């Protein structure tokens, strides 16, 4: 095994698979991800700073002699069987991340045989750690290994993004899939979502990552996500009347936006301004990380949260309470909401050695939102890997 992984993570998946099907032919681990800064910039072809983490999903599978698939979600206690020649979105949500990958692979001309699959893991669902991309990328890598499809990782990332668009209905950017497949251990990825170029920056050994889970169901996240994307596209359409070379908000500047502010509805202006400012923050944050200026990095994280809460309006009271409480703790370098919003987690950069002080310091904030503290430590890890 090239990936350091605890036996507790893999054992239940292997035991379940062996009981039902026998020995697996392929076992893959696909990680969740965090994003230190750069939220809602990826679908605007901007910059992001994600990292895969040491939490994820394990998948075990073997081929069948027919064209049928059997999917078993161990943690959900759910299973689904069907035919590869008849793939349509399922009324239940969980299979669609997998079915979408099957659909996109076949649409792209790759030949698949049937297979049996069991998956499970230690990735908190609904926490904004992109369990969806972990599922999609894990299956793409598993099938690539099982059937010798010859896919490179960039192609897999693009197919998985298309799967989420087509079968889940979320017009996501490509950050999550790229992070899940491409990450390096102990590094963060500075990803340019315009041309998909990236560089790795070492994660500082003097800091650690904690996620504080609001435990709020993100019921509004998907519809609001698509709405925000449409609002950004409306802003780009306005700017293109004056600057035809503006194809996304990545191509726009604050000066350009302000020069034509009178033509914008106030809400469209706020959305666009946030994205342009967030792109600038990511570039500055990456420079701060490279120069080991963690206080500057933390200040940019705090500014990101304020923009997400007030300009992009994708936060919620629980996220605001946890982010503001964390930012006030002396052990915390920076704190902000992470992910699509309206629930999920805050991401907190904490000084090494101050972990207990952070956990203790957050207890009153969790009490304020009426929740039992749920705090997930995690560390930057490598991308999806075949284990067996």
Q: Which of 176, 213, 251, 320 is catalytic?
A: 176
pLDDT in tens, 360-370: 999 999 999 99
User: What is the rounded CA–CA span in Å between residue 73 and residue 279?
Assistant: 37
Structure tokens at 24: 């697996």
Question: Residue 344 and residue 342: Cα distance in Å, rounded?
Answer: 7
Mean pLDDT across the chain, nearest whole number?
Answer: 94
Residue 124 or 216, more confident: 216
How do residues 222-271 score in pLDDT, each as one tens digit? 788 889 999 999 999 999 999 999 999 999 999 999 999 999 999 999 99
Over range 282-291, report the average pLDDT: 97
Q: How many CB atoms lie within 10 A of CB 70?
A: 17
Spatial CA neighbour of 42 closest among 185, 164, 213: 164
Q: How confident is residue 9, by pLDDT bands cut at 50, 70 and 90?
A: confident
Q: Are residues 29 and 383 in contact, defined by beta-carbon separation less than 8 angstroms?
A: no
Binning pLDDT at 50, 70 and 90, where does residue 218 land?
confident
Q: Give all strands (DSSP E) within 42-92, no chain letters.
A: 47-48, 50-63, 68-73, 78-83
Asked if 176 is an active-site residue, the reply is yes
Average pLDDT of span 165-170: 89
Give the mean model confidence (pLDDT) for residues 272-292. 97
Return the pLDDT at 221: 65
- What is the mean predicted confidence (pLDDT) over 44-60? 96
pLDDT of residue 166: 93
The arithmetic mean of pLDDT across residues 62-91, rounded, is 96
Residue ranges and CATH numbers for the domains of the chain are 7-203+381-386 (3.30.230.10), 207-378 (3.30.70.890)
What share of the chain has pLDDT > 70, as a percent?
97
Higher-pLDDT residue of 217 and 283 is 283
- For the chain, the farthest-separated pair of C-alpha atoms sits apart, in whole angstroms, at 66
Quote the pLDDT of residue 123.
83
Give me the pLDDT at residue 2, please: 34
Digit-coded pLDDT (tens) for 299-356: 999 999 999 999 999 999 999 999 999 999 999 999 999 988 999 999 999 999 999 9
- Paired tokens of 83: 């035919």
Q: Are 112 and 147 in contact (CB under 8 A)?
A: yes
What pLDDT was estimated at residue 7?
45
Is residue 118 scored above 80 in pLDDT? yes
């Amino acid at each position: 095994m090239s990936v350091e992984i605890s036996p507790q993570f893999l054992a239940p998946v292997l035991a379940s698979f062996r009981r039902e099907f026998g020995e697996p032919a392929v076992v893959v681990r696909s990680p969740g991800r965090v994003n230190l800064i750069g939220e809602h910039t990826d679908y605007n072809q901007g910059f992001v700073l994600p990292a895969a983490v040491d939490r994820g999903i394990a998948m075990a599978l073997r081929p069948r002699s027919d064209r049928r698939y059997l999917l078993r979600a161990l943690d959900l206690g759910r299973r689904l069987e069907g035919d590869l020649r008849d793939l349509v979105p399922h009324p239940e949500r969980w299979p669609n991340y997998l079915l979408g990958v099957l659909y996109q692979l076949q649409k792209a001309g790759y030949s698949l045989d049937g297979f049996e699959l069991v998956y499970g893991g230690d990735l908190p669902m609904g926490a904004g750690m992109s369990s969806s991309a972990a599922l999609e990328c894990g299956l793409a890598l598993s099938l690539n290994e099982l059937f010798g499809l010859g896919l490179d990782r960039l192609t897999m990332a693009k197919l998985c993004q298309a799967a989420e668009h087509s079968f889940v209905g979320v017009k996501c950017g490509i950050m999550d899939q790229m992070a899940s497949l491409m990450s390096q251990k102990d590094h963060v990825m500075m990803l340019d979502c315009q041309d998909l170029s990236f560089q790795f920056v070492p994660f500082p050994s003097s800091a650690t990552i904690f996620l504080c889970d609001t435990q709020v169901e993100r019921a509004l996240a998907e519809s609001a996500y698509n709405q925000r994307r449409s609002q950004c596209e409306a802003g780009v359409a306005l700017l293109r009347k004056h600057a035809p070379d503006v194809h996304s908000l990545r191509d726009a500047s604050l000066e350009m936006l302000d020069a034509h502010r009178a033509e914008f509805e106030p809400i469209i202006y706020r959305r666009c301004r946030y994205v342009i400012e967030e792109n600038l923050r990511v570039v500055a944050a990456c420079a701060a990380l490279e120069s080991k200026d963690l206080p500057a990095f933390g200040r940019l994280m705090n500014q990101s949260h304020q923009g997400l809460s007030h300009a992009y309006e994708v936060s919620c009271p629980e996220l605001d309470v946890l982010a503001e409480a964390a930012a006030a703790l002396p052990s915390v370098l920076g704190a902000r909401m992470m992910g699509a919003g309206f629930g999920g987690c805050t991401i907190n950069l904490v000084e090494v050695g101050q972990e207990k002080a952070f956990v203790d310091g957050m207890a009153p904030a969790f009490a304020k939102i009426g929740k039992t503290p749920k705090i997930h430590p995690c560390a930057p890890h490598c991308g999806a890997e075949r284990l067996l």
